[in-house]
Amino acid sequence: MNPNRPTDSLPAPGADALAQSEALCATIRARIAAAGGWLPFDRYMELALYAPGLGYYSGGAMKFGRRAEDGSDFITAPELSPLFAATLARPVAQALQQSGTRRLMEFGAGTGKLAAGLLTALAEMNVDIDSYEIVELSGELRDRQRATIDARAGALAGKVQWLDALPEAFEGVAIGNEVLDAMPVRLVVRKLGAWHERGVVALNDGFAFEDRAIEPDAHVELIDAAIEDELSADYVTETHEAALGFTKTVCTMITRGAAFFTDYGFPRREFYHAQRATGTLMCHYRHRAHADPFLYPGLQDITAHVEFSGIAEAGVEAGADLLGFTSQARFLMNSGITDVLGAFDPSDVKRFLPAANAVQKLLSEAEMGELFKVIAFSRGIDGTVDAFAVGDRSHTL
């Protein structure tokens, strides 16, 4: 698709945004040419999201917000309601106490609302921490995070520091909300029983897919084993080497403490299902979801669901313990979100009803409650935390 031609259903970007997208397209076309005319999709996705100064997350796009009119593309749980952070603070506090650590780290902190909420809630619980470290690649998001935390967390903002990269070792609790789904994925296709890798070629002033035959590797063999059934039609799916590598790095980095990841996805046998024949790749632009990763490169989010069995295996292979795995709804209910909501006066309709509606979205199977999962790893914690005490689904991984 021509990256500068708006579709009938999506709003067109402004001139400055289009110029940024064009600059990124030129970079991608140069990379395709240097690679011999074909670039693996995961490399295209990496450039589209993270090319320095031009990618979606490394550039200046709005990204997080409640509606298309504010220039944003999607909303996350911390943006939806402060009750998410207030509830998450409880298992975080328990993990800090059980591991005897006093530091927090967040990967990709969005607008900073989760950080501000956690800092405030932990202080109200009399849980003192030494530092809150944010790993953030986007300069624009760092500025937004700093402003949000200063405004919402007051003097606690002094505990926050920003990192350009992960440290070699860390003692404390790490948090990643919708981080794994933003990792580049490889696209693989089975046609008439033979596997291909889907890549990107330059086409006129846009880009197009092109498939190349491959020999099945360990990741593809896992897909074959999960599907089991013979497929009568083409089958497209993703492998998640970047997310697996990131998980291993984080679980190696943590020498004592825990890591909590919240994201949408499935265990392997649900993810690689014969009926899920078109994969999970999805794009988000102005709060509308569509399937064209070549529309406005650098101006839209490109994402894929998380295959949680592989994430669990990666963490354990790095030497961490699997602390638990469950749905977001069960995790938040176990962590006492109804008690947090109970602090609102039901007679104060203007405050209570929006809070209750947000909790409904966080918990409902039709909204975020079931599709989103929470997986956690630990070192130096005996047993688990209360958030996984009921309804743990680790056996499904």
Average pLDDT across each block of 10 residues of the chain; the chain has 397 residues. List them in order. Answer: 51 86 96 98 97 86 51 69 96 98 95 96 97 90 93 97 96 97 97 94 94 96 85 89 98 98 97 93 87 94 97 98 98 97 89 92 94 97 95 98
Rounded to whole angstroms, the Cα distance separating 154 from 151 reads: 6
Task: Kindly compute the dihedral angle of the four CA atoms of residues 389, 391, 396, 397, in this order, to the nearest 10 degrees.
Answer: -40
Q: What is the pLDDT of residue 4?
A: 41
- Is the pTM for the entire model greater than 0.75? yes
As given in the structure block, the two tokens for residue 211 are 């498939």
Measured CA to CA, the distance from residue 113 to residue 66 in angstroms comes to 13
Q: Are 134 and 162 in contact, with CB atoms under 8 Å apart?
A: yes
| Residues 6 or more apart in contact with residue 221 via CB below 8 angstroms | none
**What is the SS3 assignment for 184?**
coil
Residue 138: per-residue pLDDT: 81
pLDDT the model gives residue 6: 43
What whole-number distance in Å separates Cα of residue 190 and Cα of residue 197?
9
Assess contact for 234 and 191: CB atoms under 8 A. Answer: yes
Q: Report pLDDT for 287.
A: 72
β-strand 186-191 against 235-239: which pairing, if any?
antiparallel
Position 254 scores a pLDDT of 98
Q: How far is CA 75 from the centre of its chain?
A: 12
Residues ≥6 apart with Cβ < 8 Å to 341: 83, 355, 356, 359
C-alpha Rg value of the chain to the nearest Å: 21
Measured CA to CA, the distance from residue 252 to residue 319 in angstroms comes to 7
Could you give the CA distance from residue 143 to residue 110 in angstroms, rounded to a whole number? Answer: 11
Phi, psi dihedrals of residue 151, rounded to the nearest 5°:
-75, -35
Per-residue pLDDT, 16: 87
Q: Report pLDDT for 80.
A: 86
- Whole-number pLDDT of residue 50: 93
Count of helices and strands (H, E) across the chain:
13, 18
Write the DSSP symbol of residue 12. Answer: P
Beta bridge partners of 326: 374
